[in-house]
């Protein structure tokens, strides 16, 4: 069984695809910075790393070589902290690019946005990708941006595009919009839809904006897991700017204790 099946209670997402040093000087860009951040976040209570890699200019890339380097160095530096890579398109990469990444590397875990992987309508290629991951024992987390995408997920499972095993999802509250503030009530449609569909996935939540902590507290109280970090929010619960990702992890770790 994969170490990310089931999900850890807290996963840290320290950088994402869009923010850089101009947004916060402690946001990790290089592999060395990501490992140092991961070490501090693990000490603060994180059970896994949601990892993005960046090129020499700091841009988000789907680069198998960089991911392999990060994973290898993480295993040496912090062997107890599993790594989840991502296929996030970030408005740049195609479904074919995402599938190509996953042919070049077999990670321990990967997050895949349903709406991005199926954007080209090539269900046969998507099926090969998802089933290859399942056969290799890769823990796939399905990223869902609204409740209706749960219905879509069920449809694709029924069609055989996605294997019906170890179903793991991330409910995303909000978007990459300037001034976005998600609210705990944003979670309700996801939970209601899952109940209507008879789904009982291993679920987690991430939330954009300054109400991230409140959203994560509600998710945990309702039985969900937490993804926290600078990918989605730079603020502490009191509205102040967090010193670093470890401060965000420590705050939610204290909250759930």
Pair 31, 73: CB distance under 8 Å: yes
pLDDT range class, residue 177, cuts 50, 70, 90: low
> Which element (helix H / strand E) includes 140?
strand 139-144
Percent of the chain whose pLDDT exceeds 90 = 92
pLDDT range class, residue 256, cuts 50, 70, 90: confident
227 Cβ contact partners less than 8 Å away, ≥ 6 residues apart: 10, 11, 12, 13, 50, 170, 204, 205, 206
Which residue has 């789904």 as its token pair?
199
Reply yes or no on whether the pLDDT at 167 is more than 80. Answer: yes
User: Which of 225, 141, 149 has the alpha carbon at shortest distance from 189?
Assistant: 149
> What CATH number matches the domain at 10-256, 3.30.2130.10, 1.10.760.10, 3.20.20.70, 3.40.47.10?
3.20.20.70
Reply yes or no on whether the pLDDT at 175 is more than 80. Answer: no
Output the average pLDDT for the chain: 96
- Global confidence as pTM: 0.96
Residue 180 tokens, joined:
């976005």
Distances (CA, A) of 42 to 14, 20, 67, 156, 157: 12, 22, 19, 35, 34
């Amino acid at each position: 069984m994969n170490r990310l099946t089931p999900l850890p209670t807290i996963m840290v997402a320290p950088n994402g695809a869009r923010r850089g040093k101009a947004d916060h000087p402690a946001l990790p860009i290089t592999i060395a910075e990501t490992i140092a951040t991961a070490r501090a976040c693990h000490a603060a209570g994180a059970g896994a790393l949601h990892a993005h890699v960046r090129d020499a200019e700091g841009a988000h890339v789907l680069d198998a070589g960089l991911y392999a380097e990060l994973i290898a160095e993480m295993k040496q530096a912090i062997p107890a902290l599993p790594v989840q890579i991502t296929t996030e398109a970030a408005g740049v990469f195609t479904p074919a690019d995402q599938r190509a990444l996953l042919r070049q590397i077999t990670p321990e875990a990967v997050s895949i946005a349903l709406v991005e992987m199926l954007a080209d309508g090539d269900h046969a290629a998507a099926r090969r990708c998802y089933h290859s991951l399942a056969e290799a024992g890769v823990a796939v987390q399905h990223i869902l941006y609204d409740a209706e995408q749960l219905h879509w997920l069920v449809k694709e499972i029924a069609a055989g595009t996605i294997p019906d095993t170890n179903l793991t999802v991330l409910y995303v509250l909000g978007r990459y919009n300037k001034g976005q503030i998600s609210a705990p009530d944003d979670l309700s449609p996801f939970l209601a839809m899952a109940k209507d569909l008879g789904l009982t996935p291993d679920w987690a939540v991430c939330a954009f904006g300054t109400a991230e902590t409140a959203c994560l507290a509600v998710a945990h109280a309702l039985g969900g897991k937490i993804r926290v970090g600078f990918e989605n929010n730079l603020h502490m619960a009191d509205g102040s700017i967090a010193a670093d990702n470890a401060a965000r992890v420590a705050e939610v770790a204290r909250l759930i204790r």
